[in-house]
Structure 1
Amino acid sequence: MGLRETKKAKTRKLISDIARDLFIEKGYDAVTIVEIAEKAEVAVTTLFNYFPTKESLIFDLEDEIDADILKAIRERKKDQTILDALYRYFFSSKLFNPPNKKTFSGFGKLIRSSPELTSYLRGLWARYENSLAKEIQNDSGVNKMEAECIAKLVLEGVSFACNSPSPKDVLNLTFKILKNGWNK
């Protein structure tokens, strides 16, 4: 990455981190775009060059996560199943190993407290489901409906695990059921 790209990435992260911290501290609705731009020492137009909407400020890793999910499938070991590759990715991801647990907890509470952010997140997961379904179908040769079903079950399970009191335990259970079925 060149100097210009590095500077842009740092500015983007700075804006997003400031927005996240302000949203957690004051509440999503109480924080304005102008306030975020001033604190980040950028113009409002610059902020919108990095983030097209107020909601997108909080989800600065959305494209990276989408790419990483697909990369987990594409770069898996030859003898590894798609489900095993996805499990390994999610289990080791920031979703289940946040660098700062307090901030991550505040982030989760923030999302749950705001209908706008909850809706935005659902839209992101739907986009991830579509990308994942296409990748599963291309890689495995299953039909479109089966690929969509697996993608939805995986990502709904991950979402459920993220919001549970024991995230890694629920993630383990989710993938166990997906791999082995549920015959009760």
Structure 2
Amino acid sequence: MTEATMGRRERKKARTRQAIADAALELFLERGYDQVSVKDVAEAADVSTSGLFKHFPTKEALVFDRDDDIRTSLVSAVRDRPEGVPPLDALRDWRLARLRERSADPRTAAFAELVTGTPALQDYADRMWLAHEKELAQALAQAETDPHAPSPDGPAGGAPDAGASQTDIATRTHDPARTDVAARAVARFGLDRLRVGEQGDPRRVVEAAFALLAHGWPAPELSRPAREQAPAGARPEAPAGPPGLRERKKAQTRRAITEAAVALFTERGYDDVGVREIADAADTSIATLFKYFPDGKVSLVFPGDRAARIASLTGAVHDRAPGQTVLDALRGLLSQRGPFKEDPTPAEQRVLDLVSATPDLRDYALRSWTHGQEPLAAAIAAESGLPADDLTARLLARYVLQIPDLARNTSDPGRTLDIVIDLLSRGWPACLHEPKPD
């Protein structure tokens, strides 16, 4: 087969793929994503359903047909940035450029509204962005460890200036493991969908996010008088007392269900166990199971109560020690939980292993943590003397609540926690060097 023939074949494939993507977008914008079937798209593009699936493996993929182009553009923004431009500035400028494209093109804006207004597409978009995290993190780490990269305290590009002392040069030396963790966190937060900005100017959100990543949290809570209390209503109510018989029975039932679920999932795998089997193993009804776990099967391995978790987060902020930052208080709380706990029980370790090995459970764990974003942000703002809707406080809360997911499947979750908290405290690239002891 000649090269010319191969070229025609590839061009034909590209035209077919584009025709399918164009037909899908037209139908989705006209009728809504949920009201359009794959068969509708195939008929509009004049292809068979099987032919459509050769180009797009899922319905969601029909909307995101430029994923490879986005990834290439994103990584190139950091790797091929102009000389002297810090990598974080290059990444911020890339985000802002995409926002300008969206505002300048009504079709692009309509596409963005379609995604944000459709839960299935929003979840797919989140996963798509996270898929770029690793490659972007590698580019960021390379940008800071490259000897020809701009130095944060020296001339742009090239080797350190001739007047730098050996101590100065040593201070700039990066620990590769620390750099990799910090770069992954910056990639995660820099690519975050930033839903906190849906009610305001998205450009302002991007600017605030990258200012936080570059300079860290300014810790305004430390400048408030020690005797000053948070506004009334900002603090959670104290517990009424030890749980009664009914609450204890509820806790026992909840624990029995989670233990049965974990045992079955561990034995046979998450995908091969049904909800009815779990209910039978826990000696309860399906109705009772869903009463305790309304989110269904994906939530069955998480014994904790979401409201209690949120109360512990806000309590850590409100009840921190005098002179302690909110980030250090949250570090202390997280260090005792989930993947950060130093000596988990065998049962706790089984849950951790199961979550790490199951994508659906990892996604649910992340959503469960970030569900506390708004109350945690309000607590941070209250303790810092900031408006209740302060954007930086909301971003800080969102990023802190993603640390457990970042640390999962790492060799040293506790060190990951310390490095990411340091990133949020001091910013990038200052966090690449171990903080000086007090």
Q: Is the 8 A contact 1:129 1:155 kept in 2?
A: yes
**Aligned amino acid, residue 19 of structure 2:** L
Q: Give structure 2 stretches of 5+ with no counterpart.
A: 1-6, 146-175, 221-438
Q: Is the 8 A contact 1:33 1:54 kept in 2?
A: yes
What displacement does 1:169 show?
2.7
Summarize the alignment of residues 46-125 of structure 1 with structure 2, pairs less than 5 Å apart: 46-93=51-98, 95-98=99-102, 101-125=105-129
Q: CA separation of 1:120/1:24 partners in 2, compared to 1, >3 Å: closer, same or farther? A: same
Q: Is the 8 A contact 1:96 1:167 kept in 2?
A: no
Summarize the alignment of residues 5-84 of structure 1 with structure 2, pairs less than 5 Å apart: 5-84=10-89
Q: CA separation of 1:3/1:179 partners in 2, compared to 1, >3 Å: closer, same or farther? A: farther
Distance 1:130 1:9 in 2: 28
Per-residue deviation, residues 33-85 of structure 1 (Å, max 9, x unmatched): 11101111122222112111001000111111111111111111221111111
What displacement does 1:100 show?
6.2
Q: Is the 8 A contact 2:21 2:65 kept in 1?
A: yes
Q: Is the 8 A contact 2:101 2:108 kept in 1?
A: no
Q: Match of 2:188?
A: 152
Distance 2:14 2:31 in 1: 26
What displacement does 1:86 show?
1.1
What displacement does 1:137 show?
2.2
Per-residue deviation, residues 101-156 of structure 1 (Å, max 9, x unmatched): 43333323322333321221111111122221122223323522111111112112
- Aligned-pair identity in percent equals 33
Per-residue deviation, residues 19-43 of structure 1 (Å, max 9, x unmatched): 1221222222221111101111122
The answer to whether the aligner puts 1:181 opposite 2:186 as a matched pair is: no
SS of 1:96's equivalent in the other structure is helix
Larger Rg: 2
Q: CA separation of 1:162/1:24 partners in 2, compared to 1, >3 Å: closer, same or farther? A: farther
| TM-score with structure 1 setting the length | 0.84
Greater share of residues in helix: 1
Deviates more, 1:96-105 or 1:144-153: 96-105
| TM-score with structure 2 setting the length | 0.38
Q: Is the 8 A contact 2:77 2:91 kept in 1?
A: yes
Q: CA separation of 1:61/1:30 partners in 2, compared to 1, >3 Å: closer, same or farther? A: same
Q: Give structure 1 stretches of 5+ with no counterpart.
A: none
